[in-house]
Structure 1
Amino acid sequence: MIAATVAAAAEPLVEIRFEGAMPFSRAKAIELAAVPVGTPLDDKTADAAAARIRDACRRRHYPQARVEWRREPLRSGRQNLLLRIDRGRQGRLKEVRFSGRRAIGAAELERTLRVSPRPGLWSRWLGRGAVMDADLARDRNALAASYHQRGHAAAEVGEPVLEWVRALNGFRLTWPILNEGPVYRVGYIRLDAVDLPSEAALRRIIGVNAGERFERRRVQEAVQRFEAYYHGRGHAFASVVAQEEWNDSQARIDLLFKATPGTRPVLRRILISGNTNTADRIILREIPLKPGQRFDADAVQEALARLSSLPMFSRVAVNCRGAADLPAFDLAVEVVERRTGRVEVGVVYGESEGAAFQLNVIEKSLSLAPPFRGEALQANLGLTLGSEAIRGDAGFSNPRLFDSRWSLDIQGSYEDSETISDYFDQRTYGVNLLVSHPLGRHHMLSTGYAVAGYEVYNLEEAAAPLLQPSLVTNQELFVTSWILAWSMDYTDRVIRPTRGVRLRGSVSLGSQALGGDTDVVQTEAGASLFLSPFFRHVLSLRGGVKSVDPYGDTDEVALPLRDYLGGSRDLRGFEYHSVSPLDEAGRPMGGQSAWWATAEYRVPLIRWLDLAVYYDVGDVSLESYAYSGEGPVSNWGIGVLIQAEEFPVRFDVATPIKTLEGDRQNEKGKPHFSFSAGYRF
């Protein structure tokens, strides 16, 4: 309880004084109060400061802590804040009881609670098990909902009682179930509405039948479906109310659904706020609904989805302003901008570059005219100087080419790598130009032109006699390709999805007719399935296939174009690019087809730290479109994911279960450590 004993004007604060014992230092208490000297001190500010001190005491397991405050006016016209602290007895919650309970088991009720005994050092270290007022209020609603969902519509739950119990050497929390009441059934269902759908559609909307056990949650869901039906017909401000008529003697509740559809208004204007850097035009082009058009619920949802996907906004709200009896409405769009430019400098270690200095410059809302920001163009520049690789890349993207739904992506890269193989090094450079167009909300089609050059050098002399002649002599390569790609995304979020499915496929046709020196077809496909069986637990199933096939004047696939597995993107228990058919000396020489699959279960430990357990399997074949090689090989592993904002870091340790016969780089049962940064798509 927080009590205000004196009211005064909001004069500046001079000092915070404390009375009573605290479980932390005075300096910490001043920090927790969060009211700097000179702040105008009113009742609301004083109440919030006292609440923060009280909650801090309770998180330190003083569950009965109380803080009272008083504002003390000074002759100077300023004032002090006095916080009187009664921390009470320290102890942990050891038991939860329910009085008056008969219809539902105690164990079942306790599973709905947030405030419950949390034994163990891990819970103590994380500060779990604290008795907080907000959590108790949530638990009281959850207990009532448990009864209501089972038909006990008249059930009442009282205020909890917290008491120290000597025998427990801790606290007991008792929830009084004041009234369980009988199980109510649904009685008559009546409608007071116009413009109704067919009887079959109406039954699906209501979803509740006479004689069934009454559940208020299902009735509320019926109201939401009813309103969505009217919204879909253009009634922007339709409202539906479910009136309950109780018959206690028969334990029956009759329902009356009363609908007020209102008008089908037209859009008068679009009101935009919160965009200090982003041009209005960038926001307006993402809204399919234009002034003069009738309300369209799907168009409003699409506008929200499009705007939320833009990288320059951290939060987007789209609301309709009007009334059910008015012929027009306004669409209010409120955005909160985030920083779109970022410079990253650091020293990293990766399996493909070794220890490296890394520099990345990223801008996600670039403009080509002063002030050079706010037009949603995206650019990036990266440089990696490693002990085993040098890499540079640059990119430019226009997500709405000429304000159309077409997007343009240009990417250029250069890499000089000593880790591409154990017996040769490779330089690679290339430029890709892609244009893309969405096919509905979940599909994307892309096409474009790619140029890539490859140079193989430092080829081991001992390896040359063991390789096919074309693989040795064709050490410089220039490939020009036409690319066609398709993707589908039905996941719940772009970054770290928890539910849904993703599919992708691409074909790259390299041809001498396009300016290169190699005729080759490269195909690739992948799929991801995400499931969430428990709160924030995620099961992901991912896999892919790829193949390369020479044609025309090209007889063999050159070394730089051959397929390999191994590394943080597929087989995490194997060295980078180490899984492929082996030559006579046990060295991987690459294949022409590969497949891989992984199953991973991710568990949250704390807010910013996840633990993952996974199994990877894959194989590489010498033949094109033939996915049975000398394997498959497999591994299992454990990963730790640190959720740094916009740039997560992951550490993995994985152990091969099965390796290829004659493999010199990977050993069954030998742990392999890997590191990766960024999100995997």
Structure 2
Amino acid sequence: MKKAVLSSFIVAAALEATQIQSITFNGLLHLSNESATDISGLKVGSNFSDEIANRAIINLYKQGYFENITIEENAGNIIVNLVEKPVIAKIDINGVVTNDQKSIEQIIDIKKGQMYDEFALNNTKIRIRQFYEARGYFDTVVTTDIVPINENKNSLHITLTVNRGENIIIENVNLVGAKALDYSDIEPAVANKSREFMGWMWGLNDGKAKIYELPGDSAKIQDEYLKKGYLDASVSAPNLNAHFDNYKADLTYYISEGEIYKANQISIKAPEFLELDTAEIIDDFKLQKGDILNSSWMKLDISTLENIVANKGFAYVKVNPNITKNSDYTADIVYEVIPKEKVYIRDVIISGNDRTADRIIRRELYLTEGNLYNKTDLIDSKNALKRSGYFEDVQIIEKRVDKDQIDLEIAVKETSTGSIVGGIGYGSSDGLLLNAGVSDSNVFGSGYKGSIMVDKSDDTLSGNINLTNPRVNDSAYSLGGGLFANDYSWDEYDEQNYGANIIGGRQLGRYINAYLSYQIERSEIDGLDAFYRDAGYQNGVNIKSALTPSISFNNTDDYYVPRSGIIASTSLEYAGLGGDMEFIKNRTTFNIYQGLQDYIDMDLILRYKSGFGYIYNDDSSKLPINEKLFLGGINSIRGYDSRSVTPKKKICNPKNSNGTVINGCEIIETGGKISFNNSFELSFPIINRLKMRGVIFYDYGMIGHSDINEIKRSSAGAGIEWITPIGPLQLFYAQALDDKKGDDTSSFEFTIGRRF
């Protein structure tokens, strides 16, 4: 007797019931006899029938190994003949670029080492076509070449040859029925845009159709209408009329706009136990009575209300806006608050910190095990971690355990915090430039900050060593210190100084830190000529012993690229605790950052940065030049040489040390006692995957000896901000706007390591 299955099951004639005496498998390669017997369901001593034979064939065929199965029976001896499918030994993909090949290899259904399956091969061809369609390429053709590798034909070499199709280019986007909005109003929101002139250039629309994003574009257009108050607006599904002779298309939407609605009565419906001051909350809403009913403003108000309730422990609060339209085209809004259950933190799990110790992360968290859920604490924890500068990205993932418990996963992506710097260069004024050093803001993942730096040029030799523990024993206290030494050989004089400093601090709340530092410094100035001495400069040795209390505020959401928050600080340096200098110097800075993503759906960042300095000193002639104030350079007014914006004094015919008059005049920089500088910046993305942004800026500063208006300078320009593997890099081109004769200007400046 014989049963067989080729490409489909063939039912043989009915078999007489026979007891199985033995079972033999022929052709097994990947399965053992024992496994094949178990899978088939055949057993020695059991009956053998037509139904049992069919079931055995089906069971074996389901394994996916076989393309041909036959069963023979002779006096109870069962022989199962199997022909296994060939194995895919090699796969080549031709006609695609390297990056596409890597992506295709991830999505196809056939893999090296698998059994050959015609269905999987056909599905692979479909997936490749879909891959290119998702990227806007149509009529992609995939051909296959299947070649046996050995004589037994049980190993195959499959070659997929891809002939990528063409892009469909959208020539026109038609908004039929639109009156209030035109294409320029919806263009920033939609994915499918019409081709612009020279659309192949970076930054311009190339018009390539994105088929898989087409359905979502209708909703995006409708959302633009809702932002303008058109509550009755409806937008049809997209109608893409493509011409496959030239692969060009027109895209059409049919729109019914309706009328503009304004907000009328706004109220909050919430359970009494929440104890919400609804009048105060509504007063702080973005959308107020009489405003055009802007859906984006409404979403912001919903988020505000959800956060207020979530701060009371209701992590899963929902706020549903119930809108009632009135005949006069106004709408009443009732925000219905559904708090659900209070939620507690069960566990805090930290992941992604291959280098940074868990405790360094935990000490920045305001939520921990057993705490009642609080949305503000959650956001502040995330921002505190991002402000640390240790992490490229921080995500706090909420994992619901049950109705009243939640786990928090703190998923961090560490960034490079350390760098070894070595360089050689040449400057027109400094000659040969050499520098070397090592720094790390998270030494061995401990949270310590340390650096050793040495710089050498024709005119300078300087070095410093610093080490700081920002959280001593993970407490609110910090402690640090450093040593420094500098040797300058200026054109007019030589200067040497060295010293040490120690600084202690304490956190005062979440955003405020107070510090107290002490510095002892010895400086020596030598070689001043008669012109400088006549301007008030002094040769000799000075000892500065200074105590500096300071306070800082920082509630930004990131260390390098903040999009919200304020950084402010002020310090008061008192020199006069011994030594021979006596003065009080105030330095104050104020920076504010505001991202515009929530308002205009673009990742733009507005920044305002300012600095103020003032020296209290009754006799400025006793104040060394290196303690006075200067502006200019990348830290104050770009477009001017560093420390070149300063009061100047014309000195003529001074007397030298023996009383002889030296004929002639020189302009001497005297330094200032009061200064103010500020900058306005707009940052925008260039290449997100490279973390590269652009910036345009305007700088303005004032400085004087007794009058801050003595000297005023400004500049404008543009630059690139780039978070590189060795740290954040800034490159600026600046143009001095109101430079005067004698000013030292510079066009290009760069720095590595500063926050943006």
TM-score w.r.t. the length of structure 2 is: 0.71
Aligned to 1:382: 453
- Check the 8 A contact 1:559/1:589 in 2, yes or no: no
Task: Say what the alpha-carbon RMSD is for the aligned residues.
Answer: 4.5
Aligned to 2:696: 612
Most deviating of 397-406 and 563-572:
563-572
Q: Identify if the C-alpha distance between structure 1 residues 614 and 311 changes in structure 2 by more than 3 Å, giving closer, same or farther.
A: closer
C-alpha deviation, 1:439, in angstroms: 3.2
CA distance in 2: counterparts of 1:591 and 1:208, whole angstroms:
52
Q: Identify if the C-alpha distance between structure 1 residues 314 and 639 changes in structure 2 by more than 3 Å, giving closer, same or farther.
A: closer
**Greater gyration radius:** 2
Aligned to 2:380: 302
Residue of structure 1 aligned with 2:667, choices 568, 579, 587: 587
C-alpha deviation, 1:445, in angstroms: 2.0
Paired amino acid for 2:641: E
Once the two structures are superposed, what CA deviation does each residue of 1:80-129 show, in whole Å capped at 9, x if it has no partner?
463644523x6754322123445644443345434434535585245742
C-alpha deviation, 1:31, in angstroms: 5.8
Q: What runs of 5+ residues in structure 2 fail to find an aligned partner?
A: 1-63, 66-85, 115-119, 652-664
Most deviating of 274-283 and 218-227:
218-227
CA distance in 2: counterparts of 1:301 and 1:241, whole angstroms:
23
CA distance in 2: counterparts of 1:201 and 1:95, whole angstroms:
48
Aligned to 1:525: 588
Aligned to 1:484: 549
C-alpha deviation, 1:417, in angstroms: 2.8
C-alpha deviation, 1:376, in angstroms: 1.6
Once the two structures are superposed, what CA deviation does each residue of 1:400-426 show, in whole Å capped at 9, x if it has no partner?
1121112223233222234xx541232
Aligned to 1:643: 722
CA distance in 1: counterparts of 2:181 and 2:236, whole angstroms:
13
C-alpha deviation, 1:349, in angstroms: 6.1
Matches within 5 A, 1:377-416: 377-416=448-487
Does the residue aligned with 2:438 lie in a helix, a strand or coil? strand
Matches within 5 A, 1:204-283: 217=296, 220-221=299-300, 223-242=302-321, 259-283=337-361
Matches within 5 A, 1:137-148: 139-148=217-226
C-alpha deviation, 1:340, in angstroms: 3.7
Does the residue aligned with 1:588 lie in a helix, a strand or coil? strand
Once the two structures are superposed, what CA deviation does each residue of 1:587-637 show, in whole Å capped at 9, x if it has no partner?
33423413243444446483235253534333231x4xx4243x33x2434
- Check the 8 A contact 2:638/2:699 in 1, yes or no: no
Q: Identify if the C-alpha distance between structure 1 residues 350 and 443 changes in structure 2 by more than 3 Å, giving closer, same or farther.
A: farther
- Check the 8 A contact 1:571/1:618 in 2, yes or no: no
Paired amino acid for 1:562: K
Q: Identify if the C-alpha distance between structure 1 residues 316 and 76 changes in structure 2 by more than 3 Å, giving closer, same or farther.
A: farther
- Check the 8 A contact 2:605/2:684 in 1, yes or no: no
CA distance in 2: counterparts of 1:208 and 1:460, whole angstroms:
66
Residue of structure 2 aligned with 1:508, choices 567, 573, 583: 573
- Check the 8 A contact 2:422/2:436 in 1, yes or no: yes
- Check the 8 A contact 1:617/1:635 in 2, yes or no: yes
Paired amino acid for 1:304: K
- Check the 8 A contact 2:615/2:674 in 1, yes or no: no
- Check the 8 A contact 1:234/1:296 in 2, yes or no: yes
Aligned to 2:506: 437
Does the residue aligned with 1:416 lie in a helix, a strand or coil? strand
Q: Identify if the C-alpha distance between structure 1 residues 567 and 254 changes in structure 2 by more than 3 Å, giving closer, same or farther.
A: closer
1:576 aligns with 2:642: yes
- Check the 8 A contact 2:192/2:217 in 1, yes or no: yes
CA distance in 1: counterparts of 2:98 and 2:285, whole angstroms:
58
Aligned to 2:613: 546
Does the residue aligned with 2:668 lie in a helix, a strand or coil? coil
Aligned to 2:29: none
- Check the 8 A contact 1:11/1:79 in 2, yes or no: no
Does the residue aligned with 1:547 lie in a helix, a strand or coil? strand
Q: What runs of 5+ residues in structure 1 fail to find an aligned partner?
A: 1-7, 367-372
Residue of structure 2 aligned with 1:174, choices 247, 251, 260: 251
CA distance in 1: counterparts of 2:233 and 2:532, whole angstroms:
84
Q: Identify if the C-alpha distance between structure 1 residues 64 and 391 changes in structure 2 by more than 3 Å, giving closer, same or farther.
A: farther
CA distance in 2: counterparts of 1:200 and 1:496, whole angstroms:
36
Does the residue aligned with 1:195 lie in a helix, a strand or coil? helix
Matches within 5 A, 1:191-210: 191=269, 193-196=271-274, 197-201=276-280, 203=282
Aligned to 1:98: 175
CA distance in 1: counterparts of 2:618 and 2:263, whole angstroms:
71
C-alpha deviation, 1:143, in angstroms: 0.5
Most deviating of 586-595 and 192-201:
192-201
Once the two structures are superposed, what CA deviation does each residue of 1:410-453 show, in whole Å capped at 9, x if it has no partner?
233222234xx541232232322222233333333221111222
Matches within 5 A, 1:14-33: 14-18=90-94, 30=101, 33=104
Does the residue aligned with 1:507 lie in a helix, a strand or coil? strand
Q: Identify if the C-alpha distance between structure 1 residues 163 and 233 changes in structure 2 by more than 3 Å, giving closer, same or farther.
A: same
CA distance in 2: counterparts of 1:357 and 1:26, whole angstroms:
43
CA distance in 2: counterparts of 1:394 and 1:274, whole angstroms:
31
Q: Identify if the C-alpha distance between structure 1 residues 422 and 65 changes in structure 2 by more than 3 Å, giving closer, same or farther.
A: farther
Once the two structures are superposed, what CA deviation does each residue of 1:524-550 show, in whole Å capped at 9, x if it has no partner?
223334566774555544433323344
Q: Identify if the C-alpha distance between structure 1 residues 563 and 66 changes in structure 2 by more than 3 Å, giving closer, same or farther.
A: same
Does the residue aligned with 1:647 lie in a helix, a strand or coil? strand
C-alpha deviation, 1:178, in angstroms: 6.2
Does the residue aligned with 2:451 lie in a helix, a strand or coil? strand
Aligned to 1:495: 560
How many residues are aligned here? 634
Aligned to 1:564: 630
Does the residue aligned with 2:395 lie in a helix, a strand or coil? strand
C-alpha deviation, 1:557, in angstroms: 0.6
- Check the 8 A contact 2:631/2:645 in 1, yes or no: yes
C-alpha deviation, 1:483, in angstroms: 0.6
- Check the 8 A contact 2:268/2:278 in 1, yes or no: no
Aligned to 1:627: 708
Aligned to 2:25: none
Aligned to 1:5: none
CA distance in 1: counterparts of 2:747 and 2:699, whole angstroms:
14
Q: Identify if the C-alpha distance between structure 1 residues 590 and 177 changes in structure 2 by more than 3 Å, giving closer, same or farther.
A: same
Overall identity of the aligned pairs, in %: 17
C-alpha deviation, 1:479, in angstroms: 0.9
Aligned to 2:495: 426
1:450 aligns with 2:525: no
Q: Identify if the C-alpha distance between structure 1 residues 387 and 293 changes in structure 2 by more than 3 Å, giving closer, same or farther.
A: same
C-alpha deviation, 1:583, in angstroms: 4.0
CA distance in 2: counterparts of 1:216 and 1:209, whole angstroms:
12
